[in-house]
Chains A and B, each alone.
Chain A
């Protein structure tokens, strides 16, 4: 291909290539095809001797019937949306009670108890503040806000994956990808991205064409990852759910999360489409997608592995990052420069830009701090709000975290910090549309070997996020 640009070859290698070329020209017919044909013939002969199929195909038609429904033009997409919406709804309504219990145990009881204890031990104020108000509270919030929804959502998603539904989703999306000029297998990396974007980026290796692979890498961040689901669930519950009458709130919240996830998929197509017409021109290549048989998922094993591999893994990552972040945030809120804390200074600096985007300074600061991991956005936001608005004992009040009522302590806290429904909605959007975490960026750099494309991957979603949040904020002002 690029014989001219290749490094100078050793003489024996050049000789080898030349000889191969000469022999190849003398060959009759396509050797590759002959080899493949010989293999096929042998395979057929061997199987005919060793495998006996029943006279009447005992193959249950269940698979085929189900496939016809879930991949049909008419029903494919509605079923897909309904399935995901139901999963989100179960997650949101199921997380209420356990989240409340955990919050009561860890935040409302555990936090004052630890303060009392350290008071009795005679710890200095700064040490108690750093460890109990900083590190402990951040961790307690991570556990109570993130554990229940993840423990419900991830097993359901894994069951669906083990059953064999994901390739059907890929099948449904394939035509759209082709229209966007991308590879159909991008649907697979998109699905992987719903777990972890770094894994999604690595999974693009199944795509052979470098151009199409790059498309898949650049758009993978539009799949909401593990670390971002809790933000979606919490904001949808607190702010979107509250916009409608109580009986409908879980449903509205689920619809909002479905909407954001669907927006991500839509943007994947749109951005792929735009890129193939500008910087990554080319034709999509054909491929065949194998629809594996449906397999009854193994319930207990799935629950066990998805709890260990995903839920606890994500939680652990969040805790690992939340501990130093908690300490850092406490310090920044308690070290005063010129009469104000560092955090207050930073938040005030960011506020004008942030408010203009329908967010606030706390959120933007949280996203700067959360570059290592999306998981810590929520605890960082909560910590900063508490410390900046000066209500460190907010946890002592009554109420639970996931209950949509006005006495919800979390909601009270955020309202005191100046949050509105717009802030919540724009946080959901910004959570979808911002730069990938540093792990994913590093993975993108390793996979593409190019700083330029890594920058693209970081700035493209961030730019989109700014535009979308800005537009939503303007529209909101217009109508509200």
Chain B
């Protein structure tokens, strides 16, 4: 990336749609770095339901060729790549697809642990435009645990074919985070996605993520006590509130992570081990 200084007025000038969809325009600002991650200014995670096109977005931004295919469960481990945009270097982490942060198969745990405990700078949630309602379940859960997220409504071309109209601005208002419609397979909307990622990463755009209704007072007390105890037992634990809620719900995978010391390990390293999947020995 050559660092030609841009005058503030030029930078603030909104690019017209024709410009934004032009490959030359994008190529000038995006540099795909493949696996050359090196020093990264920001860490960006790609989360979302299975088969929504996370790996396609990942490949488009990093220039890598993660195996993509039209079926759920294609990605089971974390893949990492990098790109440079507007002079900032980003590390992009492609996570396995997951329907919920509350479920527990080994591939879904990889995604959950990374989002909760590695705390990426920006979480891009990739959603399937044709199945938005079901996808929003995960979106709402992710928004509970992060302040910096972008919703990428992918497969807009398919939604259009099915006659669905999606008001991304209304979605952005309701969810409190930037929402970008894309058709990643055709490369549409990626320029806007990059801009949204940068806006959130640099703090130019402040997210006010949608939060679920407050729990009843009785529960609030329990959560407060548990959060206190969690923070005492695990200094530096991110998302203690979420963990407290899961403890109250009796989530076996979290209870196990506490008993086996895995949670302590996660907090200590603050990064998720590559082989977060549990051994299959019964």
Interface residues, chain A, with chain B CB atoms under 8 Å away: 1-3, 6-7, 9-10, 12-13, 15-17, 19-20, 23-24, 26-27, 30-32, 35-36, 38-40, 42-44, 46-47, 49-54, 57-60, 158, 161-164, 166-167, 170, 185, 188, 191, 202-208, 210-211, 213-214, 217, 280, 282, 290, 292-295, 298, 305, 308-309, 446-450, 453
Contact = CB atoms under 8 A, between A and B. Distances in A.
A290 B279 contact: no
B202 interface: no
A12 B164 contact: no
B33 interface: no
Contact of A23 (B133, B212, B226, B275): B226
Given A35-B249, A47-B136, A13 B163 contact: no
B201 to A, nearest CB: 25
B245 interface: yes
A185 B163 contact: no
Contact of A295 (B67, B70, B162, B213): B70
Interface stretch (B40-48, B79-87, B191-199, B251-259): B251-259
B77 interface: yes
B251 A208 contact: no
13 contacts: A12-B232, A15-B233, A16-B229, A16-B258, A24-B247, A27-B248, A53-B165, A166-B69, A166-B70, A191-B71, A202-B77, A213-B280, A308-B65
B261 A7 contact: yes
A302 B61 CA distance: 18
A51 B277 contact: no
A370 B65 CA distance: 28
B217 to A, nearest CB: 13
Given A10-B233, A205-B76, A206-B73, A447 B280 contact: yes
Contacts of A54: 163-164
Given A12-B232, A51-B132, A449 B281 contact: yes
A293 B67 contact: no
Contacts of A308: 65
Interface string B158-187: 100111111110110011000000000100
B19 interface: no
Given A9-B259, A54-B163, A202-B77, 14 more contacts: A1-B256, A38-B213, A39-B141, A42-B140, A46-B171, A49-B167, A49-B174, A161-B70, A191-B71, A205-B77, A206-B76, A280-B282, A292-B71, A449-B281
Contacts of B230: 16
A121 B238 CA distance: 70
Contacts of A170: 71
Interface stretch (B5-13, B24-32, B101-109, B116-124): B101-109
B212 A39 contact: yes
Contacts of A40: 137
A52 B141 contact: no
Contacts of A57: 163
Chain A interface secondary structure, helix, strand, loop or mixed?
helix
Nearest to A282: B282
A282 to B, nearest CB: 8
Interface of B: 50-51, 65, 67-73, 76-77, 96, 102, 104-107, 130, 132-134, 136-137, 139-141, 158, 161-168, 170-171, 174-175, 185, 210, 212-213, 219, 222, 225-226, 229-230, 232-233, 244-245, 247-252, 255-256, 258-261, 275, 277-282
B6 to A, nearest CB: 34
B233 A12 contact: yes
Contacts of B174: 46, 49-50
Contacts of B136: 42-43, 46-47
A24 to B, nearest CB: 6
A210 B170 contact: no
B59 to A, nearest CB: 9
A35 B247 CA distance: 13
Nearest to A169: B71
Given A47-B136, A206-B76, A16 B105 contact: no
Contact of A13 (B51, B141, B233): B233
A174 B92 CA distance: 35
B105 A206 contact: yes
Contacts of B277: 205, 447
B71 A23 contact: no
Nearest to A6: B259
A430 B76 CA distance: 31
A205 B106 contact: yes
A119 to B, nearest CB: 44
Contacts of B161: 60
Given A10-B233, A52-B164, A309-B65, A161 B281 contact: no
B157 to A, nearest CB: 10
A18 B84 CA distance: 48
B278 to A, nearest CB: 7
A20 B248 contact: yes
Nearest to B255: A17
Contacts of A46: 136, 171, 174-175, 210
A16 B137 contact: no
Contacts of A9: 259
A39 B163 contact: no
Contacts of A47: 132-133, 136
A34 to B, nearest CB: 9
Nearest to B280: A213
A468 B198 CA distance: 60
B213 to A, nearest CB: 6
Contacts of B275: 446
A343 B136 CA distance: 64
A7 B265 CA distance: 14
A50 B50 contact: no
Contact of B140 (A43, A58, A293, A448): A43
B163 A42 contact: no
Contacts of B51: 290, 292
Given A6-B260, A164-B70, A19 B137 contact: no
A211 B225 contact: no
Contacts of B248: 20, 23-24, 27, 31
B76 A202 contact: yes
A57 B77 CA distance: 37
A3 B73 contact: no
A58 B162 contact: yes
B68 to A, nearest CB: 8
Given A27-B219, A211-B282, A213-B280, A51 B166 contact: yes
Contacts of A188: 71, 73
Contact of A1 (B166, B247, B252): B252
